[in-house]
Copies of this chain bind each other. A is one copy, B any other.
Amino acid sequence: MTAAPPDVVVVGAGAVGLATAWRLAERGVEVVVVDPQPGGGASGVAAGMLAPVTEARLGELDLLRLGLASAERWPAFAAEVEAAAGRSVGYRSDGTVVVALDADDRAAMADLVDRQRSLGLEVDDLQAREVRALEPALAPGVRRGALASGERSVDPAALVGALGVAAERHGVRFRHEQVAALLTTGDRDAPGAGSAHGASGRVAAEAELGDRRVVGVELVGGERLAAGAVVLASGAWSADLAGLPARARPPVRPVKGQVVTLRQRPGDTLVRHTVRAFVRGSTVYLVPRDDGRVVCGATVEERGWDATVTAGGAYELLRDAIAVFPGLDEAELVGVRAGFRPGTPDDLPLIGASAVDGLVVAAGHYRNGILLTPITAEAVADVVTGGEPPAEVQPCDPRRFDRVRSRA
């Protein structure tokens, strides 16, 4: 290992940033990942559903195709990460059971399942007996269900840990520090490596781009890391990086999500699959882990950077989880966490080259960051090394908002 300037600096050590660094390193690229707290963003709160089918919404076909393409990659990806890191990522391929509690809920479920089938997705109806066979601890009121047998889940905390080990074993270096600014240079500033705009030269952000290009990052404290390219993978925080030229600023916003983690009593296995439930007009999902924990999520709140774990958020998740699995009443309440999903104007992530030469974006994954990790890492590695990213990533071009924004 050397301390020579890296080819690429990845800003952000969530699942996406780490997987990207690992994939780049596999291709022989020298990578430094900068993050004061790896896994401390949305990856640390995510439930880890790999659910392109049951997450599918009408009208989001590009996202559905992207999700399906990434889901296809997951079995091999999980196996590769585990082999590279020598540890588990908590991968489970049980499928997702969809259930509904009352008559209105059943109508909502049927509607969703119909729409999914009309898209050619594989979702099977389950009669009462079949539902009970799959999930014996469901509330007595649950009489119908559906099964998306191809869906899987992973433990995001385990994934982040394993990706970190895998990346490190491939020579990726880590700096547990905060990036203060992106450094760019351009022809108007006496071209050359020595001249760069950073925290102290933010005029670049408002100026025209010209042939300005990224030359590295500046850390809080003043140290500068030179790099041929910078991958911006800091989720909801990606818009806040100082030194970002305005036109290259990813249009991400924080979308608060709260999740409750329970732990089933020793010996209990009340929740056997990922379960999505329609519960008296509300929805909840429950994702079981091999160690007896169950993650219940999630609120979706547009509240800016307010990270408060609220009474109401916890209450609604507990209410719905216990309504679906009454036995969870006695489960341990391990904790309630809040995180920030990186939302985008069209719910599609931002993956690829930005308006600034040398700046590649891998952000804005909203509710699908864990699912989309394999395809994002692959696509970014392609972009950085001059390859052709998977076709499904094409609609995620970070520059797609440019025309709209320059009009506004």
Contact = CB atoms under 8 A, between A and B. Distances in A.
A309 B332 CA distance: 6
Interface in A300-328: 308-315, 318-319, 321-322, 328
B310 A333 contact: yes
A177 B234 CA distance: 47
B322 A312 contact: yes
Given A315-B315, A315-B319, A319-B319, A310 B336 contact: no
A371 to B, nearest CB: 27
B333 A311 contact: yes
Contacts of A72: none
Interface in A268-315: 308-315
A311 B332 contact: yes
A336 B333 CA distance: 9
A311 B329 contact: yes
Contact of A332 (B310, B318, B329): B310
A207 B343 CA distance: 73
Contacts of A309: 332-333
Contact of A311 (B308, B311, B312, B321): B321
A262 interface: yes
A331 B311 contact: yes
A388 interface: no
Contacts of A208: none
A334 to B, nearest CB: 9
A187 interface: no
A104 interface: no
Contact of A330 (B311, B319, B328): B311
A339 to B, nearest CB: 15
Contact of A315 (B308, B313, B322, B332): B322
Contacts of A314: 314, 318, 333
A341 B265 CA distance: 23
Nearest to A318: B315
Contacts of A310: 329-333
A312 B260 CA distance: 13
Nearest to A334: B309
A319 B322 CA distance: 12
Interface in A85-133: none
Nearest to A308: B332
A330 B318 contact: no
Interface string A329-363: 11111001000000000000000000000000000
A132 B315 CA distance: 25
Interface string A30-64: 00000000000000000000000000000000000
5 contacts: A260-B311, A310-B330, A310-B333, A314-B314, A318-B318
